[in-house]
Amino acid sequence: MLDLDRLNRYVDSHGALTRGRGLVSGTIALTLAILCLLGVLAFHFPEYLTTPELRRGYDVGMLRTLLFWSMVIAGSLALVNIIFDRARWLSSFAFLLVALAVLLGGHKVAVDPDFPDHTPYIGLDWFILDLLGSSLIFIFIEKLFPLRRGQPVFRPEWQTDLTHFIVNHMVVGFILLATNLLVHQLFGWAAHDGIRGWVAGLNFWVALLLIILVADLVQYWTHRAYHEVPLLWRLHAVHHSVKSMDWMAGSRQHILELLITRTLVLAPIYVLGFSKDVIDAYIVIVGFQAVFNHCNVSVRLGPLRYVIVTPNFHHWHHSQDDEAIDKNYAAHYAFLDHLFGTAVQSDRPWPERYGVVGDYVPDGFIRQFKFPFTWKG
C-alpha cells in the first residue's frame, strides 16, 4: 500500500492534477497531514521550531483546536480515499502521518511555559499558519473573481512553487538575521538621529504612505536592475519562469534574490527610523500585495490602477508579450512606472502569455536553484 517510488515520482512531477481520481483530495489530505505533524513537533520543541515574535501572542487553546480539526479533516479525506480505492497509494501516506501525529500527542501535547526564549529557531509556525491562511484566503478570492476560469488550483508546476514556498519559509529566520546584520553593517553609518526623530514623530498614516514610497523606490530600481543587468537577471529569471499566475506564483524566487532585495529595501527603512507600528503595518501590506498581485483574479480597479499596483498591473510585468518586456517594475505604487516611463502601454486589458521568452529556465526547485550558476546563455 505504501509505494515510496510512486510518491517520489509524484512529488518530482510538474503537471496539473486530474480531478475525479482521488489525487486532489489525496494531495489536500497529505499536505494537511504534513502540517499537522509539523504542528505537533512545534508544540514539542517551541524554542527551536517557533518564531519568538509570534509565539508571544498565540492563543494556545485556539491553536490546539485548529490542530485537532485539521487532523480530523486530513484523516477523514485519506480514509475515504483508501476505502473507495481512490489514489490509495497517496492517501495511505496521509493517513500514516495523521496517525503518527496522534501517537506523538496530537493537539494535547503539554508545553513547558519556562522553555528558553533566545535559542536559534526555524519559523515552522509561520510556515504552517501562512500556508493555511494564504491558501484559504486567496484560493477563495481566485474562485470569486477568476481571470482564467479554467485554471485549476493544482495547475502545472504547482509542485515547484510549493517547494519554493516551503524552503523560503523554512529559512525565514536565517534571512531575517542575515538582512538585519547586513543592513546594520553596510548602512549603519547613514543613520542620523535628527532625521530618525523627525520620521518617528510623523502621523501614523503619513509615515505609512512614506515608508511604502521609500521602500518602493528602492524596490523599483532594484527590480529594474534585475532585468537590465545580465548577471542579476540570472537570479530573477527564476521568478519570471512561472507560466501560470496564481497565489502561489510569487513564491518562486531564488533565495539569493530574496536576500539581496530584502537587504536593499530594509536599508532605508532602518536608516530613516520608522516606528515599529508603521513597520508592522508595512509588512502586512507587503505580504498581502506580494500574493494578491500574482493571483488568478480579474481585478483592475479602474483609474486606481494608475496609482497602486494591482493584479492587472503585475500580470503584465510577468507577460512575455512584446509590449510587456521589461515593464511595470513597481511593487506598490504604479505611478512610479508612469513617472519613469516603464509602464506597459497596451490596447488589451490583460496579457496572453506568461513566462520567460524562450522558456529556458528548467522546472523543479533544485534545477532552478542551480540555474543562475549553470546557465550558458
CA-CA distance, 363 to 356, in Å (whole number)?
A: 12
> Taking 80 as the threshold, does the pLDDT of residue 356 lie above it?
yes
The pLDDT confidence band at residue 8, using thresholds 50, 70 and 90, is low
pLDDT at 190: 63
> Taking 90 as the threshold, does the pLDDT of residue 210 lie above it?
yes
> Taking 60 as the threshold, does the pLDDT of residue 1 lie above it?
no
In the structure grid, which three cell numbers stand for residue 361, read together?
Answer: 529556465
Arithmetic mean of pLDDT, 183-203: 74
Spatial CA neighbour of 277 closest among 212, 210, 200, 332: 200
> Taking 70 as the threshold, does the pLDDT of residue 188 lie above it?
no
CA-CA distance, 216 to 205, in Å (whole number)?
A: 17
The pLDDT confidence band at residue 259, using thresholds 50, 70 and 90, is confident
> Taking 60 as the threshold, does the pLDDT of residue 299 lie above it?
yes
Higher pLDDT, 240 or 260: 240
> Taking 90 as the threshold, does the pLDDT of residue 6 lie above it?
no
pLDDT at 175: 66
pLDDT at 19: 75
pLDDT at 174: 64
Arithmetic mean of pLDDT, 24-47: 93
Residue 226 carries which side chain, given as an amino acid letter? Y
| Chain-centre distance for alpha carbon 147 | 20
Of all residues in the chain, the percent with pLDDT exceeding 70 is 91
Arithmetic mean of pLDDT, 61-82: 94
Residue 41 carries which side chain, given as an amino acid letter? L
Arithmetic mean of pLDDT, 288-303: 92
> Taking 80 as the threshold, does the pLDDT of residue 228 lie above it?
yes
Averaged pLDDT score across all residues of the chain = 89
CA-CA distance, 329 to 239, in Å (whole number)?
A: 13
pLDDT at 232: 96
> Taking 60 as the threshold, does the pLDDT of residue 203 lie above it?
yes
Arithmetic mean of pLDDT, 131-136: 90
Q: Which residues of 77-86 are buried (b: 16+ CB within 10 A; e: fewer)?
A: bbeebbeeeb
Arithmetic mean of pLDDT, 125-138: 90
Arithmetic mean of pLDDT, 205-230: 96
| pTM, entire model | 0.86
